[in-house]
Amino acid sequence: MPETAPAPRLDAAVHDLYTAGITAHRGAFTPQWADRMREDIDTAFTEARGREGGAVGRGPHRYYVEIHPEQLRGFVELVDHPWVRGVCEAVLGPDYRIVELGFDVPLAGAVNQPWHRDFPLPDATRDERRLTSLAFNLTAVDTREDMGPFEIAPGTQWDDDPAFGHGMFPPRDSYPRYDALAERKYPQRGDISARSALTIHRGTANRSPDARPVLVLGVDAPGAGNDDRHDMAVTRAYWSSLPGRVRAHLHCPVVEELTPIVQKHTIEGLVMGDA
């Protein structure tokens, strides 16, 4: 495995996710592995922006693109990484499901997003205080302050307020609380973070001339239902080449030929940014 640092203890990662709502494994991969990931992201981004529905806006100069696993050469190394597997099993159970692979690209000129979560609070989280999904993020660049770092408000994965717009967007009068809690993250190439997508977060303004691409791997507990939001697939030949323990968790169609994904996980409230 391309690990370059000892993996953090899984009990510490679970504790982080249930308290702060985010955890990380620094140096999980080499910078060279991340550079190859960047090449695959750049190729997919160019293709997606060249067709209708290939990329969805997440604010001015900010895009999201879902891709098929075969478009990422390091897909198996990522999902079969001991820390990724271990965190998924510890938080989501042994039958966790890989449901999403994509990337966010804040370009130069991207503005602050509104504070948000990625989908409404599920009943299992509200009633049982149980996390049913995780988002793993891997930066394709060494993050600088002027690139518009990711910002998160720790502990807010449990926030349950009927005033949230669409169950996802805190009202503006609550922004001072999130601003006070906010922590900016500066991951480097090779780092992996895992977070609850329910933890209130936002991308900040990219004042640099450089894009800040970030890979997203979405994983669900059985029954969480987020697979309905995504359209990734694998070819029969690729499926046959996968290790059995990867196939056991990869829940997507197996097809003879891949078709380009038309993005459908739109988040309408992000389109205008923090206007």
| Residue 203 φ then ψ, to 5° | -90, 145
Residues pairing with 259 in the sheet:
none
Instruction: Please report which residue ranges of 50-169 form alpha helices under DSSP H.
Output: 75-79, 82-92, 123-128
Report whether 105 contacts 65 (CB < 8 A): yes
Convert the pLDDT of each residue in 129-151 to its tens digit.
999 999 999 999 999 999 999 99
| Residue 4 φ then ψ, to 5° | -125, 5
Convert the pLDDT of each residue in 224-274 to its tens digit.
988 777 889 999 999 999 999 999 999 899 999 999 999 765 565 564 555
CB-based contacts of 125: which residues, under 8 Å, 6+ apart? 131, 132, 157, 158, 198
**Superfamily of structural domain 10-262:** q2cbj1_9rhob like domain (2.60.120.620)
C-alpha atoms less than 13 angstroms from C-alpha of 26 in its C-beta half-sphere: 5
User: What's the whole-number mean pLDDT along residues 163-191?
Assistant: 97
Q: What is the reported pLDDT for 1?
A: 46
Convert the pLDDT of each residue in 35-72 to its tens digit.
999 999 999 999 999 999 899 988 899 999 999 999 99
Q: What is the reported pLDDT for 220?
A: 97
